[in-house]
Amino acid sequence: MTFDLELLKTLLGLFSIVGATASGVAALVVDYKDKETGKITKWGRYALFGLAISLLIGVSNLWIDYIEKSRATTNAAEESRANSEKTLKILTDISRTLNPFKDVRVDFGIIYPFDDPDLLQYRQRLDTKLRPLLPDISRKQEIQGVHWVRMLENGTVKQVRINQGSPLLPNASEHLPTELFFRRGLMLYWFKTPIDPTTFDDNDAPHADITMELLSAADEGDSQKIEVDYDLETKAIRFKAFGAQTKPEEWQSSGQIVSLLDLPGSQLIVQLEYDSAVTAFENSKDRLKRINLPESVSLVIGIADRRSLDLRNFKKFKGPFGTTNYVYLFPKTYAEFPFDRAR
């Protein structure tokens, strides 16, 4: 409870008036000095005491005025700060509403080393079976579920796409390639506050603020189709997707990331679907073989109607159970974001 300084000032003023009046009346009817000895009389001492009291009251009133002005200044500053915070919150909420984290689209391309003997053997079969088909592929739309996606002006096919159902995809006897092709997607884990990636695994980890799954098992839907391309020159098999999407209702979201303005200073961890499955099935009869992975990944992420983000330079870490985490830290300010200028 705040003491009423205005009431105190009124009481002190009243005492001062009463004291001044009493002193004036006393001056008319009593002597403050003894006329014979010149010494101060009892009434004179009373008068001096009254003057001291009046002085104290005057000083007190000045001090009360100072306290009131100081309190008023402090209250005005606090009110101004509170109003500024309210205004900033309103503007921030409006800005967050205008920059929603929604309609997320992901482009990616993953090239595994294919240096495991079983994977290498499959790639050799693919190359051997594919090259005799190139003349027909260059003239027709599709041969044995394969069509060209890059061809030189002289008709030389440089890159082809292998569609679902093609006999050139891994068969039942090629177990490791079959498992890898079946699990050729990836998962995205978004953290508002970065964590230590060496402590993170999907099965035993702090919950991400948003979890997105771009899995190859969903190939029936065009919005998430993950293609298989083969480069005739480098013999690289690439799993790639354009505009792959997940539905917000399928995200495992904490509600901490709802706007683009929540991303500065945040963290994105990417895990490859096959590598995560190796960890998940490590102690089961369906155990999968750990293979060498790409040194890094790159993603182009579109959010709502904003320019796409070109995310590169992911750092590579191992989680506690052996899963590889590709980690990207967003810049501290939105102005520093790596927007894709080509889009």
Handedness of CA 93, 97, 98, 101 (dihedral sign): positive
User: CB neighbours of 181 closer than 8 A, spacing ≥ 6?
Assistant: 169, 170, 216, 228
Quick one: average pLDDT of 283-298? 91
State the pLDDT at residue 125. 97
Cα distance between residue 53 and residue 63, in whole Å:
15
Quick one: average pLDDT of 201-229? 76
> How far is the CA of 340 from the CAs of 105, 106, 164, 170, 214, in angstroms?
13, 13, 31, 35, 21
State the pLDDT at residue 8. 60
Cα distance between residue 306 and residue 300, in whole Å:
12
Dihedral angle of Cα 152, 156, 162, 167, to the nearest 10 degrees: 170
* 20: exposed, middle or buried (Cβ count in 10 Å: 0-12, 13-18, 19+): middle
E strands, the chain, in order: 105-111, 146-151, 157-162, 186-191, 210-214, 227-231, 237-245, 267-272, 299-302, 309-311, 315-318, 324-329
pLDDT band at 118 (very low <50, low <70, confident <90, very high): very high
Cα distance between residue 337 and residue 339, in whole Å:
6
pLDDT tens digits along 241-254: 999 988 888 888 88
Nearest CA to 161 out of 153, 173, 169, 171 is that of: 169
> To the nearest whole percent, how much of the chain has pLDDT over 70?
75
Nearest CA to 296 out of 320, 325, 339 is that of: 325
State the pLDDT at residue 17. 63
Handedness of CA 43, 44, 45, 46 (dihedral sign): positive
pLDDT tens digits along 125-154: 999 999 999 999 998 889 999 999 999 888
Backbone angles phi, psi at 63, to 5 degrees: -65, -40
225 pLDDT exceeds 90?
no
pLDDT tens digits along 68-113: 777 778 887 787 777 766 755 565 566 667 788 889 999 999 999 9
Question: How crowded is residue 307: how many other Cβ atoms within 10 Å of its Cβ?
Answer: 13
Q: Which one-letter amino acid corresponds to residue 157?
A: V
Are the beta carbons of 239 and 204 closer than 8 angstroms?
Answer: no
Cα distance between residue 252 and residue 190, in whole Å:
10
301 pLDDT exceeds 70?
yes
Question: How crowded is residue 115: how many other Cβ atoms within 10 Å of its Cβ?
Answer: 10
293 pLDDT exceeds 80?
yes
pLDDT tens digits along 154-205: 889 999 999 999 999 999 999 999 999 999 999 999 999 999 999 998 765 5
pLDDT band at 343 (very low <50, low <70, confident <90, very high): very low
